[in-house]
Chains A and B, each alone.
Chain A
Amino acid sequence: QKEVEQDPGPLSVPEGAIVSLNCTYSNSAFQYFMWYRQYSRKGPELLMYTYSSGNKEDGRFTAQVDKSSKYISLFIRDSQPSDSATYLCAMTADYKLSFGAGTTVTVRA
């Protein structure tokens, strides 16, 4: 069993829709949770990070963490074609990141 599970998709939504992404994990020691966006053939870009259970909003992005269920989510509101990318969840217990497989998202104009 992988430490971090993420459905690779692909996920296709129309412009303006809400994109919902999620990951589950097995290591209860994970303390920091991140979401990265990666465009094709580019390095990952940090979108959101959270520490505690609950919600965190940043513009059109909302990250949720439920430590009791070992489940994290990322929601993208009012999705745009420019949001088309691969989204990776990542988490860490110390300083080494464990990544999910990444979900490829396409927002159709």
Chain B
Amino acid sequence: GAVVSQHPSWVICKSGTSVKIECRSLDFQATTMFWYRQFPKQSLMLMATSNEGSKATYEQGVEKDKFLINHASLTLSTLTVTSAHPEDSSFYICSASHDRDYEQYFGPGTRLTVT
């Protein structure tokens, strides 16, 4: 159990376009979902926390107008990178937890390349 999927697994887009990444909890209801960014050979950095039906809470330094997060249901959260630039190229990973449990289940990640 506790499976989290992400789609797409890899996306290439042109500078200035927007990209949407989906995160789904497949076998449990995720009251809280988290979005992380990971640069090569670096650790995971939390970008934002989202709770179903409410606005996401962004970490300091993360532009909320650039990284739009929607958590419309208990099984789906989306991250939209708007007006992407090459410096946004990274590995984006989501995780999900149930009832703000400390245990988070991670998705397989989405590799974004902006050309």
Chain B interface, number of residues (Cβ within 8 angstroms):
26
On whether the beta carbons of A43 and B106 are closer than 8 Å, the reply is: yes
A88 to B103, CA, bound (A): 15
**Interchain CB contact (< 8 A) of B44 among A8, A32, A46, A88:** A88
Report the separation of the CA atoms of residues A97 and B33 in the bound assembly, to the nearest whole angstrom.
12
Docked-complex contact B109 and A101, CB < 8 angstroms: no
Please state if A96 and B103 are interface contacts (CB–CB under 8 Å). Answer: no
Interface of B is mostly: strand
Are the CB atoms of A92 and B102 closer together than 8 Å?
A: yes
CB of B106 within 8 A of CB of A41, answer no
Given A95-B32, A95-B100, answer yes or no on A45-B43 (Cβ-Cβ < 8 Å). no
Q: Does B49 contact A (CB under 8 A)?
A: yes
Task: Quote the shortest CB–CB distance from A30 to chain B (angstroms).
Answer: 11
Check A8–B108 contact: CB distance below 8 A.
no
Check if A102 sits within 8 Å of B102, measured CB to CB.
no
Find residues 54-71 in chain A having any chain B CB closer than 8 Å to their own CB: none
In-complex Cβ contact of A101 among B34, B43, B105, B111 (8 A) = B43
Interface centre among B32, B102, B104 (most CB of A within 10 A): B102
Which residues of A sit under 8 angstroms from B93, Cβ to Cβ?
43-44
* B43 lies within 8 A of A95 (CB): no
B44/A44 in contact, CB under 8 A: yes
Task: Jot down 5 A-B pairs with beta carbons below 8 A, ordered by A.
Answer: A43-B106, A43-B109, A95-B101, A95-B102, A101-B43
B residues whose Cβ falls under 8 Å from a Cβ of A: 4, 6, 32, 34, 41-46, 49, 91, 93, 95, 97, 100-109, 111
